[in-house]
A = this chain, B = another copy of it.
Amino acid sequence: MSIAWTSRYALRTKGIKSSTIRELLKLTQNPEVISFAGGLPASDLFPIERFEEACQTVLERDAVSALQYGETEGYKPLRDMIARHTSRYGIQARTENVLVTSGSQQALDLIGKLLINPGDRILVEAPTYLGALQAFTAYGAEYVSIPCDGNGMRIDLLEATLRCGPKFMYVLPNFQNPGGTTLSADRRRALVLIADKYGIPIIEDDPYGQLRYEGEHLPPLVVLDRQNQTRSSTYTLGNVIYLSSFSKTLAPGLRLGWIVAPPEVIAKLVQLKQGTDLHTSTFAQVVAYEVARGNFLDEHIKQLRIAYRERRDVMLEALAQFFPSEVSWTRPEGGLFLWVTLPNSLDANELFQEALKQNVAFVPGDSFFAPNGQTQEGRRHLRLNFSNARPEQIREGIRRLSVAVKGVK
């Protein structure tokens, strides 16, 4: 009796569909297609020479650390670096506040594994990052969505929404994926006070915070929350778990992200991570440390900011030039994405088919809404990535997309 796996086991990927984005990425691998679909950083800006030097140094001086099993918490010099870096903004994180993860996607998975019981409600923004929905749904999460406007999450609606008793709030305050919006300073302060009042943790996902192209840096929620926790100078208390990543600043192929949290939370996450993958690749960690150290990463990020600001501006200019006036879009101050709103008469999924005929691609908006979170609204939106294509391709891609818009009108 050979096993018919699917019928016998109802293989449980409950509520999990293959990521639309990752399936779309396969469609768009045709080199003729100009793709605004992925969230890929610019391949032409990877610091390849620095990686070559780092690999050589690591393998000459410290090959055993790089190739042998390591600690679940992460490579200590890298954790120290992350703690120092995070503390610049005033949260006094120490090494014991840092867990290195296999990309920040794994941070989302571990948080789901730790905090979510089947049926728990998670408060998310609408729209929100679909990778978080995938991670949380695997643990039986349900969702309550709160709409965003140009200043991020609508905090005025928050207290009413908290009546549903969410387990935590998942928030992307900077240059949100997919919306491109940034939570304003006032709303940040209001959010951490409400979280503290009701005792609801915040998961602050911040992969793009360093990629700001204009305007002033706003304090992360974890910093504002720490300013309210006066009882301790070290980071032992707090309502915020903070996530970030090297994927957008160094290279996503390393799969290196991190969690900053109170040590009691880190300790539990470490136990779960042991059973999940023992530890993140020491090879990737030691090389990343060697690449980033000194002042290199900061200097590299400055160059990324210049290049990505140009690409964003080219996209904004091309949209203004080519697109009909009834289409609108966000003007992100940083990050990798902008969010286009179509008139009611147009459907983003139909537009996607037409766009592929014109050899241009994007992600239709409905992927970015939780199951009960205005999926219909999603059909009026597109997410456009501006970091991966070169400026001349961006201009040509937006021209093609405008042809597609006119084709479905």
Given known pairs A251-B283, A252-B67, A283-B254, the reply for A11 and B59 (CB within 8 Å) is no
**A77-85, A195-203, A213-221, A339-347: which lies at the interface:** A195-203
Stretch of A107-115, A152-160, A323-331, A376-384 that contacts chain B:
A107-115
Taking a contact as CB atoms closer than 8 A, the residue among B19, B51, B237, B253 that contacts A282 in the complex is B253
Question: A9-B115, A253-B283 are contacts. A16–B275 as well, Cβ < 8 Å?
Answer: yes
Bound-complex Cα distance A202 to B255 (A): 31
Minimum Cβ distance to chain B for residue A73 (Å): 10
* CB-CB under 8 A for A262 and B131, given A255-B279, A275-B109: no
Smallest beta-carbon distance A157→chain B, Å: 21
Does A55 lie at the interface of the complex (its beta carbon under 8 Å from any beta carbon of B)?
Answer: yes
In the complex, which residue of chain B has the Cβ closest to the Cβ of A21?
Answer: B274
Which B residues lie within 8 Å of A201 (CB)?
A: 3, 5
Is A66 among interface residues, defined by CB-CB distance under 8 A? yes
How far is the CB of A385 from the nearest CB of chain B, in Å? 12
Are B68 and A253 interface neighbours, CB within 8 A? yes
Contact among B254, B262, B272 with A281 in the assembled complex (CB-CB below 8 Å): B254
Cβ-neighbour of A114 out of B12, B72, B102, B114 (below 8 A): B12
Residues of B near A41 (CB, < 8 A) are 68
Is A306 an interface residue when CB atoms closer than 8 A count as contact? no
Confirm or deny: A105 has a beta carbon within 8 angstroms of a beta carbon on chain B.
yes
User: Known contacts A251-B283, A270-B18; is A56 also within 8 Å of B67 by CB?
Assistant: no
Q: Can you pick out 19 interface pairs between chain A and chain B where the beta carbons lie within 8 Å of each other?
A: A1-B199, A2-B231, A3-B239, A11-B115, A11-B264, A13-B114, A16-B274, A22-B71, A40-B69, A52-B60, A69-B247, A69-B252, A103-B278, A105-B277, A105-B278, A254-B283, A255-B278, A281-B281, A283-B284
